[in-house]
Structure 1
Amino acid sequence: MSEYADSSPQELIQPIILLVDREEPASEQHGIAAAALASAQAFLRDRENPDWRLWASGAFGKTVRRADAKVFAKVLAAFPEHVLATVGEASAVGLPPMPAAELPKLLAKLQVSGTQLPPGEPLPPQPLSIVLNASLEMSTGKACAQAAHALFAWVLESKPAAVEAWAADGFPLGVLELPAKEFHKGARKSAGPVIQDAGRTEIEPGSTTAYVTVAAEKPRPWWKRTSA
């Protein structure tokens, strides 16, 4: 699946706002997981919304923007329809889709490029994980967008029972970063679409960036029902 990376004024994008605290920033993998969860959970909470259906029916676009603690609090207050996802010390807000050219001023002024969190401690293994292509050396912001795209695609293409059970289990999510050889080998057994970037920022067009994987142990029966 190709990532949607360019927006015309009429097209819809989903804003994802990542908290990047100036004094005590969260670790990178926690931030990536929070951004991906914020995107998916926002959809799952209101999937019957016509804007969601229109957005998800095409090549769905996302914009990951960063905010310090003060501005992040303003976003929470300004958009009551938000979904807040927290993983460890990391937090991200997922919002419903909106026209690319009509982002509210509070969101439009937030920075997109150059978002970087420190490496920190990796997330513990989880039954469901997003796998990232480490050889691409993506910035945190780019990785957040790719991870969110992969998780959202998995949600769309998996059986409802699998997604509902994952939600009931508290949305456990891991993040793995693999070198190119291991990444491409694992992609053959991905649990959802393998994301291919359009190459408009940071990386070459057609680069494969992310996918979702399900642990082989099948710790709970519902994982057996996840689509391949």
Structure 2
Amino acid sequence: MSESSGVAAPEEPTARELVQPIVLLVDRDEPAGRDEGIAVAALASVKAYRQDPGNPAWPLWAAGAFAKSVRRADAKMFAKVLASFPDHALAAVGAASAVGLPPMPSERLPKLLAKLQVSGTQLPEGVPLAPQPLTIVLNDSLGMSTGKAAAQAAHALFAWLLDAGPAADAWAAAGFPVGVARLSARDFHKGARKATGPVIHDAGRTEIEPGSATAYVVLTAL
């Protein structure tokens, strides 16, 4: 079994066992900015789905908790991921790049992915993203790391996409514009009334308290 073919399980995995890997390029010398990294990870997640919506892993995974694993790679390892997984979806936002892959069993990730670090992913502040018609709003009061915020942003964008209907196609036709807003707790909860998709609440397995409201999408116009 080769890494490029994903993971073949002897038995059908359950929704709880599936995770979508997202690999974020973190350049050692010139890392992208925080908001660029958050946006590109979320975009890679949904581009992987739109690239191959017929993959049977997607509906099973979506029936669960949309589990995602944002892993970081330097330029050398990122190139290996691109070469090893031909079914990847590549996304770019500003100076940031990320790869999204279809869901696979979390306990049987290919070795190349499994050895990439998950925790502690941080990017410098960088330059704020320009306003976009689609904005992922994050609860900045939670103090999430870049990697954690990226996973929550991906949850929010994917949840929006599944119910977006024609708006998703219009967004894709516009070039997948994605903005990021990090708000205080007060402004985050106040703005949730304008959310276009569901408000994401975290399971609390890492970094933050269970049930914490983390992210949502606001769509203005395309």
TM-score by length of 2: 0.92
Q: How many residues align?
A: 210
How far off its partner does 1:9 sit? 10
One-letter amino acid of the structure 1 residue matched with residue 36 of structure 2: H
Asked whether 1:132 is paired with 2:138, we answer yes
Corresponding position of 1:153: 159
Q: For 1:116-195, what aligned pairs fall within 5 Å after superposition? A: 116-159=122-165, 161-195=166-200
Asked whether 1:61 is paired with 2:60, we answer no
Query: Helix, strand or coil: the match of 2:136?
Result: strand
Q: Separation in 2 of the partners of 1:157 and 1:9?
A: 19
How far off its partner does 1:111 sit? 0.4
Unaligned runs of 5+ in 2: 1-12
Q: Separation in 2 of the partners of 1:8 and 1:171?
A: 31
CA contact (8 A) 1:35 1:93 kept: yes
Q: Separation in 1 of the partners of 2:58 and 2:16?
A: 15
CA contact (8 A) 1:8 1:100 kept: no
Query: Helix, strand or coil: the match of 2:168?
Result: helix
Identify the range of structure 1 (82-91 vs 47-56) with the bigger mean alpha-carbon deviation.
Answer: 47-56
Corresponding position of 2:206: 201
Identity across matched positions, percent: 70
Corresponding position of 1:226: none
Corresponding position of 1:34: 40
How far off its partner does 1:123 sit? 0.3
Q: Separation in 1 of the partners of 2:177 and 2:51?
A: 17
One-letter amino acid of the structure 2 residue matched with residue 166 of structure 1: W
How far off its partner does 1:60 sit? 1.6
How far off its partner does 1:57 sit? 2.2
Q: In angstroms, what is the RMSD of aligned CA positions?
A: 1.5
Corresponding position of 1:101: 107
Unaligned runs of 5+ in 1: 1-6, 221-228
How far off its partner does 1:214 sit? 1.5
Corresponding position of 1:77: 83
TM-score by length of 1: 0.89
